[in-house]
Chain A
Amino acid sequence: MTSTLPAGFAPFVLDSGQLRDAVLRYASNPLYIDGERWLNGDNPYRRQLLPQTLPSFDFSVPLRRDQVFSAAALASHRLLLNIYEADLVFLPGKGLEAKWSDFTAFYSSSNRAFGEIIRPALERHCFGFLDDEIDVTGDWTPASLEAYLTDIVRDDVGEWGGPERAILSSADPERAARSWMIQFAPDFLSEASPMIRNVLGNYGPAQSEWFKIVIDEYGYGVHESKHSSLFVDTLSSLGLDPGVHTYWQYYLAGSLAANNYFHYLGKNHENFFRYLGALYYTECTLVQFCARVIRMMRQVFGETADVRYFTEHVHIDVHHGRMALEKLVLPLVERCGDVVIPEIVRGVSEFRTLAGIADVDIAEQIRWTDGLDAAMREHDRLWPQIRDGELPAPATPLVGTSDTVITSDQYDTDTLLHVTSGSMRLIAGWEAELPLAPGDGVVIPAGRLHGATISSGDCTYETYPVPTEP
């Protein structure tokens, strides 16, 4: 950063070099270094950021719509989630004795300050494409807003969505359904925390109405009925660990984006009215969504799955949707004027877009984990051509050392991974692992999350971008 400050008030912007340095400074916190563990378990402060990959990204430029599953998207959403969650309190279940330094490092003023410096640029990087994706135009009135809001949630007719279809047609529906539930951990295990950012301050009766929704989300002070507690029970009933971010390495960029969006709106109160729109939309659509999830879970797991999280929302979000419209949106438009309506409409559309992207992401990931055998066969088909130089492709020789994990990541092009010595377990998803010995390999599709563990002895492997078929 330069030491000369502009005279007067000017927008805070880092150029791309300054931003890169600031991101690296933030990510060099030892909490974010990877390589040691695959699951984070009972330590809510350890969140792998792959700092060694970060210099290759230009976070100063917004991602395009077709880059939402890029490596940069994953990296920047991981960064953002950490920055947002420094506002939230997490404590390990088994005490802080051995984790005191992690606790203080995560909530330290340096971690917070370094994060705040890069947050605005990362938000623009992650969510800037929505400016192009969505136009709001014309002369909006309370009446046209209400007509729009009523109409937009009518679409939801209870048909299976992309994730449910992928799960039900999966070779392993239980595994696929667990993978999907893992995607909700960042959101549901600290449910309503982003929302609470909006009930601070003083803005009249609507504030108290919003607080009523918060009270429901928090189970009226009865811990067992807090929505996050219900989701803990869901995870436990499926044999999953309910630790906050145990499954950090399984989070997909699309899932992180949908979750981070609410933090982004709640953290930046110039987006307060977008949050209102997104709140209305999500509360309304969660009713049908949760009804579908219950049907899917019953079909996949029978009675063993604890679905009270979802039955609770089928019930209470009928009220929350109505309350959001009648007690929040319309009264606040009346108080603040029609100038806020386009923002409310934009919030609806932005969240719909991100929810759709998240749905596509998990469905694609399920198909990738189901297709590991085919991915190996594709390697076997292409490898002789690469080996014999028929496909000119630059190799990146890499070494994974014994007893380490290779933090999950994704490529921007289809990539062939080939093991030359030692062995690794490629991890494509929850319980979707593939042992690879020398000579083995896979083709990893662009945008598909994967990592690996190396159990004994070093493993050398090479990666090649797969040439597109002529």
Chain B
Amino acid sequence: MRAVRLRVDGRDNCVVVDGVPYVFARTATGAFVLPSRCPHRGGPLQLAQLDGAGRFLRCPWHGRRSSLTRFREHGVPAVRSGNDVVMVLDVGDDASVQWRHTPVAPALRTPGASGLPPSATDELQPGGDASSAASAATCSSAQPRCSRRAHASGTAPVRIP
């Protein structure tokens, strides 16, 4: 078992562990970690559309459907706090781990009421919201692990309006 970090948005929003890419996604029915390589031929599930009244993802390549309930209830255990995600994978300490940025389909980026950043910020480097920018400033790009206080909140400093 190994805890691995990634961000919801901006730089490092995708982590590749032993060759499998993961992103964090959120739809109206809830949040989940998405292993984003389609099991059929490796299509980019992070670019998938919703299907079946929002209950499934439809792979953009050949249309394979994946159940969101499965990801949420039987998928990778994870916690998101603000823009930061910690997930636990069943891999050893010797697993290879690399971070990168990948665009994610707007359908998988439904904000919570207080807000994941809007999808428009996805193309910004680092994330366009204040918290990702502040996080990025305190983290090495190679590994989004920050000192507790820099990130204590798991969310970066609150901006005073």
Interface residues of A (CB under 8 A from B): 64-66, 68-69, 129, 131-141, 143-148, 150-152, 155-157, 159-162, 285, 288, 341, 345-346, 348-349, 352-357, 359-360, 364, 412-413, 445-447
CB proximity of B66 to chain A, nearest CB, Å: 15
Additional pairs, 6, CB under 8 Å, beyond known A68-B158, A155-B145, A353-B154 = A132-B115, A151-B2, A341-B77, A349-B79, A356-B151, A413-B161
Which of B12-20, B27-35, B45-53 forms part of the interface with chain A? B27-35
A413 CA to B78 CA, complexed, in Å? 37
11 A-B pairs (CB sep. < 8 Å): A133-B155, A145-B88, A152-B3, A156-B147, A157-B148, A355-B152, A356-B156, A356-B157, A357-B158, A359-B153, A413-B161
- Who on chain B is nearest to A363 by CB? B157
Which chain B residues border A139 with CB–CB below 8 Å? 73-77
CB proximity of A165 to chain B, nearest CB, Å: 9
Which chain B residues border A285 with CB–CB below 8 Å? 148
Chain B at the A interface: SS class: loop
Name the one of A135, A148, A355 contacting B3, with C-beta atoms under 8 angstroms. Answer: A148
Contact between A161 and B149 (Cβ–Cβ < 8 Å)? yes
> Which residues of chain B from 92 to 109 have any CB-CB distance to chain A below 8 Å in the complex?
none
Name the one of A134, A162, A412 contacting B161, with C-beta atoms under 8 angstroms. Answer: A412
A349 CA to B147 CA, complexed, in Å? 15
A160 CA to B152 CA, complexed, in Å? 12
Question: Given A151-B86, A360-B158, A447-B160, do A138 and B75 touch, yes or no (CB 8 Å)?
Answer: yes
Q: Mark B22-62, 1 if CB is under 8 A from A, else 0.
A: 00001000111100000000000000000000000000000
Which chain A residues border B112 with CB–CB below 8 Å? 131-133, 135
Whether B72 sits at the interface, judged by CB under 8 Å, is: yes
Name the one of A132, A144, A156, A346 contacting B113, with C-beta atoms under 8 angstroms. Answer: A132
Contact between A352 and B152 (Cβ–Cβ < 8 Å)? yes
Question: Given A64-B114, A138-B33, A161-B148, do A355 and B79 touch, yes or no (CB 8 Å)?
Answer: no
Name the one of B75, B77, B81, B161 contacting A349, with C-beta atoms under 8 angstroms. Answer: B81
Whether B1 sits at the interface, judged by CB under 8 Å, is: yes
A413 CA to B151 CA, complexed, in Å? 26
Which chain A residues border B33 with CB–CB below 8 Å? 137-138
Which chain A residues border B3 with CB–CB below 8 Å? 147-148, 150-152
Which chain A residues border B71 with CB–CB below 8 Å? 137-138
Whether B128 sits at the interface, judged by CB under 8 Å, is: no
Name the one of A144, A412, A445 contacting B88, with C-beta atoms under 8 angstroms. Answer: A144
Question: Given A137-B33, A138-B32, do A147 and B160 touch, yes or no (CB 8 Å)?
Answer: no
Question: Given A152-B86, A159-B147, do A137 and B154 touch, yes or no (CB 8 Å)?
Answer: no
CB proximity of A370 to chain B, nearest CB, Å: 16
Question: Given A152-B3, A155-B148, A445-B160, do A353 and B72 touch, yes or no (CB 8 Å)?
Answer: no
Which chain A residues border B81 with CB–CB below 8 Å? 133-134, 349, 352-353
- Who on chain A is nearest to B30 by CB? A137
Which chain B residues border A133 with CB–CB below 8 Å? 81-82, 112, 114, 155
CB proximity of A288 to chain B, nearest CB, Å: 8
A133 CA to B149 CA, complexed, in Å? 18
Which chain B residues border A148 with CB–CB below 8 Å? 3, 77, 79, 86, 88
Q: Which 7 A-B pairs have the closest CB atoms?
A: A356-B153, A161-B149, A151-B3, A132-B112, A147-B1, A135-B31, A138-B77
> Which residues of chain B from 113 to 134 have any CB-CB distance to chain A below 8 Å in the complex?
113-115
Contact between A349 and B88 (Cβ–Cβ < 8 Å)? no
A209 CA to B46 CA, complexed, in Å? 45
Which chain B residues border A162 with CB–CB below 8 Å? 149, 152, 157
